[in-house]
Structures are given as structure tokens and as C-alpha cells.
Amino acid sequence: MENIFSWTILLSVAILLFIKTLFSNINRNNKKKLPPSPPALPFIGHLHLLKPPLHQALVGISNRYGPATFLHFGSRPALVISSQTLAEQCFTTHDMAFANRPQLSSVMLPNAIPMANYGSYLRSIRQISAVELLSNQRIQATSDIRAREVRDMARRLFQSHNRSEKLERSNVFEKLQVKNFLLELMLNVTMMMIAGRRFSGESVKNYEEMKRFKEAVEGWFELSGGSNIEDFLPIFRMLDLKGVMKRMKELTDVNEMMAQKLIDEHKQEGAENRNTMIARMLELQKDDPEKYSNSVIRNICISLLLGGSETTTTTLVWAMANLLNNPDVLKKAVSEIDAHVGNERLIDESDMTNLPYLQHILYETMRIYPTGPLLIPHESSKEVTIGGYEIPSGTMLLVNLYHIQRSPEIWDEPIKFKPERFEKGNADDKWMIPFGMGRRRCPGEALAMRKMVMILGTLIQCFHWERVGDKLVDLTDGAGLTLPMAVPLEALYRPRQVMIKVLSEL
């Protein structure tokens, strides 16, 4: 009985506070020239309009109400931008004002690089990442690690294909679950660079432990994205009826515990002569223990792992799906690799400058299928004017990159997969920002491009690829932070005859 009474008091207070905040915001904002807004419902605002996938729902709202739309997600005001001109205003003229992140309750990594508010702490860890870990010199120093993992990927695919087939029957196709395979590879590549350990494979020391870590990384992306009702309605946040808050706390604890364990292992085993990011930061910790504290190293490791796995994997999956649906594009990419790399060795990162068409395939993929369809939300730290509208302080900013990069006002045949549009500088004056823009632009852009060119190049250099069945691959996009495919991609593959000798020697 006492528990019921306590909950009743708690809910009553929460409701009163919510109503006070809601009406206070409404009265204050009624005096401003705000962007157009659909009719809202009491308490929930416009949450009833946000059907998954969120970026698609916002496309419909923007098509009806214009390129700048003002919404209320519960008590939280939100500005949705769907035009290049207005997005540029947000990230150039008002870049500093929109440098913060909304502190969403379901995102429990507030000190990770993607989620941290702007200030001295974020500037410090971004500087560490950009100069000490992701500079051209450091990226080049870790190229052997990536090359090893990609060669191992090709070897495993080749061996899996030939497990039940003799080489003389190499024209037989095997089926592959593309997303699962590429995510495992990307996690291994990123983890090897960070800590010199793999998530999977023959050398994994503690499989169950690494499996938990992998599940925590994947789970974080599944639950993040700014579409959890707990983020916008205090009552639901307090009750946590779906267990979102509890689950995010568990995932955060696993991520932080494992990152700390990797740091401790480096210290116990000796970080000297280890070509890992943790080793580099522990070396710097000796001279500046405050700047390179364990918590800072831990947050950077988690940031790089989250930022360097799911997003790049998703781009590669969409690239493969579009190549399967466009065999002429795939054939042109294979011809480019054969001409500039040949068939006597595997592609290497140093070949990247000689493979422009392969890069154009990735550019076109990121244009049509940006892995951050709404970018990561920003939040205004002061009142600003965008497109003649007065945007209050504390407004969450959602830039619908998915909508903008498919705009017919910017691109000819915007939905058509056409890498040729990037040839001869034809798209140099076009607008696309798959890695963000301004002071919150992703610091790992150069590394991500190297990894994707290397992996996609190796896949199409070494293997023939075909669709499963006669139908085109379903390119419907699903709901999530990183634009997953609604229908997981399956593909058929077999070794290319001209690459069997190289593959056999891996």
C-alpha cells in the first residue's frame, strides 16, 4: 500500500512538472517567429507523427510544411532541417551555437566523442584523436594491421567456399550473410588497431568475454537514435516500462568495463613496442597523466570502436547491395582493379589513388544511403535565426541528410545509383556531408575511407558476386541510427579463377 501511495505521489509530481515545462515553453515560443509546425497533441506534442523509420517520417512532414519545421517531442522542442541552404547556415554561421548534443536519457555515453557536449573536455579528446591517433602519419603506421585483417577475411571466405568443393569445381556459388560477416571483420580491424585483440577468430583469448563486448556495441546502436519515447516524456523515463533505460545502463557498463580491462592488460603486459592506439596513449600518459587519464583513454577507445564499426559496415553493405543490382557498375570496378592492381597480389591501401571509380562507388553509396540519415542530433546553446525564423535556445536540431542528398534540386536522377556522376570532378560543386560538417565533423573520415576502399576492393577483386535468385535486392531502408537494410543482405560468391593462386597462398 505504501509503495502504491509513493508511486502516486511521484507520478503526480512528474505530471505537474511536465505540464509546467510544456506550457512555459509554449508561452515563451508563441512570442517568437517559429518555423511552421503540424498540429500537436497535448503532452506528447508531435511524437505520434514519428513512425519508424524516423528519417522517412520527417521527409513526409518536410514535404508538407517546408524545409524548416518546428516540432515538439514531448516537452523537447526540435528543429528539422531539410535543405542544403539552411543546413549550411546551421553548420557555418551558427556552427558554435549548434555544437552541443542533446542530453538524451537513453544515451548513456555522455563522455564519448560523438555524444559529449562542446567544451574544453571535447576539444581535448578530439585533439588527441586527430593528432595522436587519426593523423595521416598514425593511419599509415597502422596500415599493416588493416592489411592483415583484410587478407584474413579473403582467406576465410576462400576456405569456407572450398570446404566442401574442390578447386576444379570453383564455379559453385556459396551463400553469405553479408552484414554479419562484414561487421565481424570491421570489429576485428578496429579492435586490432585499438588494442591488438580480435572479437572473433583463432587467436581470441576469451571468446565469451569478447562476445559480450560485441553484443554491447551492437546493442548500443539498436537502442540509440533519438527515437526512444523515454527521452522525451519524463513519466516513461521514470517508469521505464520497456526496460530501455535499464538495458542501456547494462550496455554502457559492459563497454566501460571491457575498455578498462584492455587498458589494464596493456599496463600489465607492457605497452612498449605495441603498435596499438592504447599503447600510444599510455606512452603519452607518462608525461601528462591528467590529459591522458584512464577515463579519457577509455572514452576514446569506446568512441573509436562505436564510430569505426557499425557505420562503415553499413556503408559497405549498401555498396554491395547496389553492386548486385547494377552488374555493369560491378564489372567496371573489377576492370579498374585488374588494370591497376592486377591478379598476382591483393589490393593495398597504396592503390587507393589509382582506383577512383571504386571510391566513386562509395561516394554514391554514402550520398543515397548516408549511415547517419539524420546526422547525430545537435542542440542550440543560444537563440539563433535560421532562414528568418527565431530558434530558441535548447532546441534539438535534426538535419535530414537522407532527404537533402536525394534532392532533385541538387542531383540529376537523385535516386539512381550512378557512380559516374563523380567522374571528372562533375560533382565537386555538389553538396553532401556523410561525415558531418563544422566543428562536430567526424575525425575518422580519412581512416574510414581507407578501410572501405580496401575491403570493398578486396571483395570484388577476389570473388564473383551474384544475387540470390532472379529478383533485384530489396533496397528498402529500415529503422535505426545507422540506416540498416530492412531485409538483411544475402549474396552468392565464388572465387575468381584468376585469383585462386593468390588466395591459395594466403
Beta strands 396-399 and 76-81 are parallel
pLDDT of residue 52: 86
Does some domain include residue 403?
yes
CA 199, CA 489: separation in Å to the nearest integer? 22
398-412 tens-digit pLDDT: 999 999 999 999 999
Host domain of residue 292: 120-504
Domain count, the chain: 1
CA 407, CA 368: separation in Å to the nearest integer? 10
Does some domain include residue 493?
yes
Does some domain include residue 162?
yes
Does some domain include residue 340?
yes
pLDDT of residue 11: 47
Does some domain include residue 108?
no
Predicted confidence band at 5 (pLDDT cuts at 50, 70, 90)? very low
Is residue 317 helix, strand or coil?
A: helix
Does some domain include residue 255?
yes
Q: What is the CATH number of the domain that holds 277?
A: 1.10.630.10
Alpha-carbon distance values, 87 to 170, 409, 431, 438 (Å):
51, 15, 10, 11
Predicted confidence band at 4 (pLDDT cuts at 50, 70, 90)? very low
Does some domain include residue 453?
yes
Does some domain include residue 482?
yes
**Which of 91, 17, 115 lies closest to 380 in space, CA to CA?**
91
Give the predicted TM-score (pTM) of the model.
0.90
Mean pLDDT of the chain: 87
Residue 151 near residue 466, CB atoms below 8 Å: no
Is residue 51 helix, strand or coil?
A: coil
CA 62, CA 81: separation in Å to the nearest integer? 8
Nine cell digits for residue 285: 600518459
284-319 tens-digit pLDDT: 999 999 999 999 999 999 999 888 888 999 999 999
Percentage above 70 pLDDT, the chain = 86
Highest mean pLDDT among 95-109, 115-129, 326-340: 326-340
* 480 vs 412, residue with greater confidence: 412
220-265 tens-digit pLDDT: 777 665 556 667 776 666 666 667 778 888 888 888 898 999 999 9
Predicted confidence band at 7 (pLDDT cuts at 50, 70, 90)? very low
32-80 tens-digit pLDDT: 799 999 999 998 999 999 888 899 999 999 999 999 999 999 889 999 9
